[in-house]
Amino acid sequence: MANTTEGQGLCVAPFLQRSLYPSQEGYLPGRFCAPVPSLEGSIECCLPCPVTEWIYSNNFETIPKASNWLNVAGMVCTVSLLVSFVVLPVEKTSRHYLTVCFIIAVCLLQLGFIIPLGAAPEQCHDAITPNDMSSDLMCAFSGACLLAGGFAAISWGFLRSLSIHLQICWQVVPGRKFFWGSLLTGWGLPTLFGSIALARTGVSYRFGDTCHINHDKALEDYWGPLLAFAAVSTILQFATLGYCIRVYIRAMFKDDGISQNSSGLPSHNGSVKTVTAGQAYRRVKKAIGVQWRGIVVVVIIIVNVVFLAEVFVSMDNTEQAVLQNFGKAAPWLSCIVINRGDKNMCLDKVKGLATPEPEVMAALILMSLNGIWTLLFLGRASMIPAWIELIRNRFARRKHDFVSVDAKRFSTSVRSYEIITSPPQSTYTPKAPEAVVTSPSLDGDTIAALSPRKQNDYFTRDANYVSPAMSFSTPRPPGSGRYQGREWDPVNTYARPFSPNTGKGGMI
């Protein structure tokens, strides 16, 4: 809390005189000042910065810090999901671009709460003026991440709701056009509305170490479009749920109609309708079984963001009402003066002048749990054994069979240094037949004796070749040429005798 004696001027403690702080830096509309009559005329006296220390209890400052650390835990959860999507195979993670972009949006939202933990920014520019994005760079970064991340989470939640609605209710599978349209919408709209909100409204330290959007034009520049997308997403979710309930009831009644058939077989008309209802039910059941996690986490984050928006809109309206009519705050301000700055004696008179402390605390805590919900619902149990297998294959010691270096150097055949060798191969080489052998002179025994299979064939029985009566050929030993040493016998071949004198002859 700021020093209430320095710069007090003509004001009563703990108030400070505004004219003693002429600096124009910081968020000037964030000063809580009121005109007070005095002997020297009307002067403006202001509550010391930050104002939330006078409105809420001493335990209030611990809630924003606790929520920031919860966002660190949530960031670990979301980053682990993204790493799993990159490293592990798709059949283990069931990753999808709608899921990946939604998780990135949640990370961006959490980053707005994490930045102040490392920077430890000063909430106040001077004793009565809070810092804003123009006077504190960390305020600009945290506020930009908060605005862009919140709108991106709602946008990608809307796109997931639209995709599920098209697949379940209209049997339309989003294709490449939907992919590019989703990227343009999911990241273009947050960039657009975030930039507009920063340029027209700005962010400042309103409570805690995180910069939030200011109240001036916040509803039309940021909260209005965000709540509109959240409303459309909610309508799509309920429409999809209603369609699923309708399909389930229809399939249930059709099944009852079949079971009551006396013949045990459905009629043609009933059969066609029942198959259609059953197919729709199975298709919806399969889609819900795959998408229910994404549906639940989208609904949770939409509810959290909408609840935070409601808290801020309520806070802005209450603050504007008090600034326009200080008569409402007169009992509380008088109590602070009478008790010489002891705010704890006047907390009961703050009711109606500010958003209730439990409501603000609940909004911050719920926003901090988004990363944890994302891991619980979008994470898969199959990721755990996949990570174990990946680490085991990566760092496990590889075992190799021992092979002698000499064996590799002096042998090119693997079979030469096998422990168990195959039976020795026969080195028998069949004897080549004589140069002149007539085919009819060879019988089956001679051919079997010359065959190499006679020595090494242990599994087949011997079979003698019997030449058919009308066969015009007989077996020949290996190695003999096609026409090598061949003589024709007219008796065996039934050929017409050839006369060298006449030149006649040949086959009949």
The sign of the CA dihedral 298, 299, 301, 305 is positive
Structure tokens at 209: 């170490």
The string of pLDDT tens digits covering residues 20-79 is 998 889 999 999 888 887 767 788 899 999 988 898 988 888 888 899 999 999 999 999
Per-residue three-class SS string for 72-140: HHHHHHHHHHHHHHHHCCHHHHCCCHHHHHHHHHHHHHHHHHHHHHHHCCCCECCCCCECECCCCHHHH
pLDDT digits (tens, 9 = 90+) for 178-224: 999 999 999 999 999 999 999 999 999 988 888 999 988 899 999 99
Q: How far apart are CA 508 and CA 496, in angstroms?
A: 6
Positive/negative CA dihedral, 164, 166, 170, 174: negative
For residues 346, 349, 355, 361, the Cα torsion angle rounded to the nearest 10 degrees is 40
What integer pLDDT is reported at residue 476 of this predicted model? 60
Sign, Cα dihedral of 213, 216, 221, 227? positive
Alpha-carbon distance of 405 to 245, in angstroms, equals 72
Q: What is the rounded distance in angstroms from the CA atom of residue 159 to the CA atom of residue 165?
A: 10
> What span, in angstroms and rounded, lies between the C-alpha atoms of 44 and 28?
14
Question: How many other C-beta atoms can be found within 10 angstroms of the C-beta atom of residue 113?
Answer: 27
Q: Give the pLDDT confidence score for residue 216 in this predicted structure.
A: 85
Identify the band that residue 268 occupies on the pLDDT scale cut at 50, 70 and 90.
Answer: very low
In tens, the pLDDT along 296-325 reads: 988 998 899 889 888 988 888 888 888 788
| One-letter-per-residue 3-state SS of 127-165 | CCCECECCCCHHHHHHHHHHHHHHHHHHHHHHHHHHHHH
pLDDT for the residue numbered 451: 46
Quick check: 498 and 506 in contact, CB under 8 A?
A: yes
Residue range 379-393: mean pLDDT, rounded: 92
CB 128 within 8 A of CB 18: yes
| Structure confidence by residue, pLDDT tens digits, 441-459 | 444 444 444 444 444 444 4
Question: Distance between CA atoms of 65 and 72, rounded to whole angstroms?
Answer: 11
Type and span of the H or E element at 38: strand 33-38
Residues 266, 278: Cα–Cα separation, whole Å: 14
DSSP per-residue letters across 259-288: HT-TTSS--HHHHHHHHHHHHHHHHHHHHH
Q: Please classify residue 171 by burial: count the beta carbons closer than 10 Å to its beta carbon, then call 0-12 exposed, 13-18 middle and 19+ buried.
A: exposed
- Which residues are paired to 35 by β-bridges? 44
pLDDT in tens, 82-101: 999 999 999 999 899 999 99
